[in-house]
Amino acid sequence: MIPVTKPFLPPIEEYQPYVKDIWDRQWLTNNGPLVNELELRLKQYLDLPHILYLSSGTIALQIAIRALDLHGEIITTPFSFIATTSSILWEGCKPVFVDICPETLNIDVSKIEDAITPHTSAILATHVYGNPCDIDAIDALAQKHNLKVIYDAAHCFGTKYKGKSVYGYGDISVASFHATKLYHTIEGGAVFTSCPELLKKMAFMRNFGFNGPEEFACLGINGKNCELHAAMGLVNLKYADAILEKRRELFAYYTEMLKGLDMKQQVIQKNTQYNHAYYPIILPSEDLLVRMVEMLNAHWIFPRRYFYPSLHTLSFVDRCECENCLDISKRVLCLPLHNDLSKEELHLVIRIMLRVQNY
């Protein structure tokens, strides 16, 4: 079987000493030493001032919205994982969808201003497949209209914009360290901010709002992560550069071998050091995509229609027109890409796709 993604697992011998230490300490959660060490190591690796390690990227989004005290409308993209929209709704706000750029697949910045109303409190934009949004333009709009900015950077580990980690932009940037990501802690997420006061507020929020054993600083939630997950993150961090390099090589190989396929690729933002988190292709029709998926599945190869359907079509949101997203979401397909993928497996995927196209 060739899955669309596969968790990277380090040598078990490197993980086991951490587990033994956890057993010896009997400190499993509640801001343990490994959680603190992981936060420090990630700050050093990413060259960023502040990070809070959390239980998931979804909790990170919810804490970010709550910490910024957002109300009313939040402008966002319909082309993202459902957690982007569901977190807005979960926190009692209204998602206002702005269509995407059909080249970058990110939110179309030229259409954001028309969606701003007196009820707009923020922009929540996704760096789709690790490709940075037009950060400068979004930040300029936010300053002009006094809006907060959250970046859903779930796919962005290793991506840099203008020489700086993408996590370093916006009022708050949110990461996912789920097992499907190129860097993972089994389950996990994080928030990044340059504001110390905002960091302190979110630190209270991730632990029920506790400010000491018998005092509460604010409304909180259980957003903590555990020592076992932090241990996996510490071991995996040693392999991050090698994983990024392997992705780059496989991405380049795919691109070379797929020259005969009728497809388009996502345009990567200028001034970007891209992490090659996914290999999305945009096919000329949904019919061709469906036929390719069926044939690949018949050979135990499992690409993914990621993201499909477009979030603006969900039954629990207000419907609107997002023609580009509706079109792209029907024709985009993410091909298998992970650290264990061999060139022989990659060849099999490509041969089947070319055969379907030429049939």
CATH superfamily of 240-358: Aspartate Aminotransferase, domain 1 (3.90.1150.10)
Domain ranges across the chain:
2-237, 240-358
Cα–Cα dist 268/132, whole Å: 8
Cα–Cα dist 295/280, whole Å: 18
Give 28-71 pLDDT, tens digit per residue.
Answer: 999 999 999 999 999 999 999 999 999 999 999 999 999 999 99
For the chain, what percent of residues have pLDDT higher than 90? 98
**Per-position b or e across 252-281, b if 16+ CB within 10 A of its CB:** eebeebbeebebeebebbeebbbbbbbbbb
Average pLDDT for 242-263? 96
pLDDT bracket for residue 359 (50, 70, 90): confident
Query: Which pLDDT value is given to residue 344?
Result: 94
- Cβ atoms within 10 Å, residue 347: 12
Query: Using the 8-state DSSP alphabet, how is residue 313 labeled?
Result: G
Query: Which pLDDT value is given to residue 123?
Result: 98
Q: Which residues contact 11 (CB under 8 A, 6 or more apart)?
A: none
Number of H helices, E strands in the chain: 12, 14
Residue 274 in this model has a pLDDT that exceeds 90: yes
Query: Which pLDDT value is given to residue 82?
Result: 97
Give 113-161 pLDDT, tens digit per residue.
Answer: 999 999 999 999 999 999 999 999 999 999 999 999 999 999 999 999 9
Query: Which pLDDT value is given to residue 311?
Result: 97
Q: Which CATH class is domain 2-237?
A: alpha beta
- The reported pTM is 0.97
Phi, psi of 211 (to 5 degrees): -130, 70
Give 63-105 pLDDT, tens digit per residue.
Answer: 999 999 999 999 999 999 999 999 999 999 999 999 999 999 9
